[in-house]
Amino acid sequence: MRLAWMIEPQQGLSYEEQLAIARRVEAAGFEALFRSDHYQSFPGPAGLPTTDAWAVLAGLARETSRIHLGALVSPVTFRLPGNMAKVAMTVDEMSGGRVELGLGTGWNEDEHRQYGFPFPPMADRADMLEEQLEIVAGLFHGPDGWRFDGRHYTIGGSLFRSRPPEGHPRIIVGGRGTPRSTRIAARFADEFNITSTEPEKIREVYGWLDDACAAAGRDPWAITRSAMIGVLIGRDSNEVERRAGDLLRQIGRGDGPDRSWFEERRPRWIAGTPDEAREAVARYAAVGVERIMLQSLIPRDLEMIDLAAEVLIAEA
């Protein structure tokens, strides 16, 4: 099992806080750090400071040396495909080839409205995703003069410089796992990432991915299978309970005894004591997950990064 760390910096994290996390993740031995691509603050209080994902990733590219970096995932509604390709390629060059490009349809309608981003119906956003992936791949690796005529975007006489090396940046298609998303991934993705889903449902979605790859004439195991899974680990039950309280306060659920928000999610998280966390990872491995992005909603708890590495990386 490969392990990455995942944060939601729209929870009010400054660049310096994200840099401290990146350095801790790198020192702890994780293979990658991913961050969300959002401008509205959540979960938790609204109106907290937020940062641009790709501006931050550019900074981290120069201030780390080993870990891979990426956004999980960038909504296609935020950037035009040529801009997204150029930004990703630039940050990849700045990092020495350590960037992974995650793209998705976007989902937060309020955020789109607040920032003036278009938010067409889901079917249209899926069409946009499919077209953007084809364009990014064409700009990265197509011949000079490559063109594309789609419903949402048109490219003519392309001349993309500099081109990244073959296979870089790696492209991740992410989402909750629908038949259409697996068909899109089968055409374009180096990795398919599913979000916060129980292992048995993941097994079903991977079956759809196998079928989609067969229909596309592609080896299904050419696509890395990953999952973004919530994480909350403590050395013992008391520490788990303390961190659960920190989590609920962070997301605005208060200081009371009600732990229902966490307990509802716990079966699909890497959560609990070290033995419980290792057992949870094993359940995901058993259904074919090859890489887990451990999503921390208490991102300032740097000690939990160290504990998760101690508990899980040696086992992986």
Across the chain, which has 316 residues, the per-10-residue mean pLDDT values are 97 97 98 97 92 98 98 97 96 96 95 96 96 95 94 95 85 88 94 92 94 95 96 97 93 76 90 97 97 97 98 80
- CA pair distance 89, 161, nearest whole angstrom: 9
At residue 302, φ and ψ (nearest 5 deg) are -70, -25
Helical residues (DSSP H) of the chain, grouped into ranges: 15-28, 53-63, 81-95, 109-115, 122-141, 179-188, 199-216, 237-250, 260-265, 274-286, 302-308
pLDDT at 314: 73
Q: Which residue's structure tokens are 């973004």?
A: 228
Assign 3 to helix, strand or coil. strand
pLDDT digits (tens, 9 = 90+) for 238-269: 999 999 999 999 998 876 667 888 888 899 99
Please tell me the predicted confidence (pLDDT) of residue 119: 98
Angle, CA 45 vertex, CA 48 and CA 76 arms, to 5°: 65
* Closest listed residue to residue 111, CA positions, set 36, 35, 40, 37: 40
pLDDT of residue 175: 79
pLDDT at 253: 81
Q: How far apart are the first and last CA of the chain?
A: 5
What are 274's two structure tokens?
A: 């070290």
In 3D space, the residue among 290, 299, 305, 314 whose CA is nearest the CA of residue 227 turns out to be: 290
Domain ranges of the chain: 2-313
Helix axes 274-286, 199-216, angle to 10 degrees: 30
Q: What homologous superfamily is domain 2-313 in, according to CATH?
A: Luciferase-like domain (3.20.20.30)
pTM: 0.94
pLDDT for 240: 96
What pLDDT is recorded for position 244? 93
The pLDDT tens digits of the residues spanning 207-222 come to 999 999 999 999 999 9
The bridge status of strand 148-149 relative to strand 154-155 is antiparallel
CB-CB contact of 316 with 1 (8 Å): yes
